[in-house]
Amino acid sequence: MIVDAHEPLMVMATVTQLEELAHSTREKIVNFAKTRFKSPKVEDLGDYIPFLAYFGEIEFCEEHISKCSKEIFNSSLPTQREDTLLGLLEFCRWTRNEISLSLAMSYVNFLFSNYCFKGQIVIPADRYIEHVFNIHRMKTTRNKMLKIGLKFLHSLLRTRASIPRNGIFIELLVDMYDLTRDKKYLFMAEDFASVWLRNKFFQKFGLFPSFRLNPFESKYVVLAKDNAAILNGLTALYATTLKNIYKDSILKWFEAVHARCFDKSVYGRYCFGNEKREQLSLMYAFAVVDALCDAFFVLRESRLLSFAEEIAKFWIDLQSKIGLFPMTEQSHISHQDYTNDFSISLWRLYELTGKNHYLESSERAMEGLFKFHAFNLKVDYQFGGIVDASIIPKYVFLMSKPIILLEEKAIYKNKKIFKLLRDR
């Protein structure tokens, strides 16, 4: 193992102290589930069912899956069911529960019967526009008129919305093949991926374009969860099939991101009309670091790991004395979920490089998360004072990941743990 002599910014808690903080937080998470989360959240199953299953709360998980079994098949968009499918598959992986696997198989049949067109998962444009305006709470009179106009325009064009974020289903279909050994799921994943790889924009620029609400505006790309979702799917396909088309496409994407979206760290959004990069944020950084690390683990292409280290260095240099990270370079705020996920990203880098400063930075981030965030959404990243005391249930449960990692001590040595700790 290579050791990198990098001095931490402060003396971190001893492993025993960190484990005590993790144990205390674990108890709070389980108590939160039992006392304040009695009704299932179908679109967030993947954000809590797998972790509570790991903690041994099998009866709780089975009850929630049973209660939401019919709701899974309502008319919600695929983007509102990706975490549902993930939760069902991971519960099956941990418990061999046949009911959750059966529901997952039924949902995939439903998905491809209702949303598949020419090998691609698509959404009627008017429904996608409605979804976007609702989630962003764009309800002013001006926005209502804009929404009506966009719907009318797309109705004339007969548009179907194909969004990169749905690329997560490539990876989830590979998971289904892994659990069932039924090759039809692998073929479905390959068919879905092939549509994106044949995309003219990807072939020219190496990036996957987002769906434009205004079809007359220039193309743009979003790295996470959009492009990263497809990349993770391609990595899963290469690991399973060893087909060079997936490896070559991953490397093509890496070159494009490095050329167009990188300066100190990665920008989350790139607009092709004005060549403008936007949103230098930890939210995009950890997703790209994770994708690069996982791709390196499979491909063993050193440039992928080197790029992940370049991105991580920028944020490690911003880490505060209490272990937290700012949301952006100029921000004074630490976001609960970003810090949580980046602590896992740093451990990935430690495992793959053997450099101790990644482990030290990861553990310090976990300590700051347990001590200062608790369940608070946002705190001052330098001093820990509460900025936003909102409690978002899925972020509470996702704090299980560093707890599990501290218990297991590794991400890549155990396939079940790797699947459990991925951010999707």
pLDDT digits (tens, 9 = 90+) for 222-249: 998 899 999 999 999 999 999 999 999 9
Q: Residue 60 above 50 pLDDT?
A: yes
What topology is assigned to 118-122+167-309 in CATH? Glycosyltransferase (1.50.10)
CA dist 81 → 92, 108, 181, 220 (Å): 17, 10, 23, 25
Looking up tokens 């007359």 gives 216
Average pLDDT, the chain: 91
Tens-place pLDDT, residues 326-335: 999 999 999 9
407, 37 Cβ separation under 8 angstroms: no
Q: What is the spatial distance between Cα 383 and Cα 163, in angstroms, rounded to a whole number?
A: 39
Whole-number pLDDT of residue 390: 96
Tens-place pLDDT, residues 63-120: 999 999 888 988 778 888 999 999 999 999 999 999 999 999 999 999 999 898 887 8
Sketch the domain layout of the chain as residue ranges: 1-36+318-424, 118-122+167-309, 124-161
Closest CA to 424 of 25, 85, 192: 85
Whole-number pLDDT of residue 9: 37
Whole-number pLDDT of residue 153: 82
* The token pair that represents 53 in the structure block: 């299953």
Whole-number pLDDT of residue 160: 82
Pairing of strands 116-117, 120-121: antiparallel
Q: Mean pLDDT throughout 57-65?
A: 96
Tens-place pLDDT, residues 141-168: 778 888 888 887 888 878 888 889 899 9
Q: Residue 219 above 90 pLDDT?
A: no
Its pTM stands at: 0.91
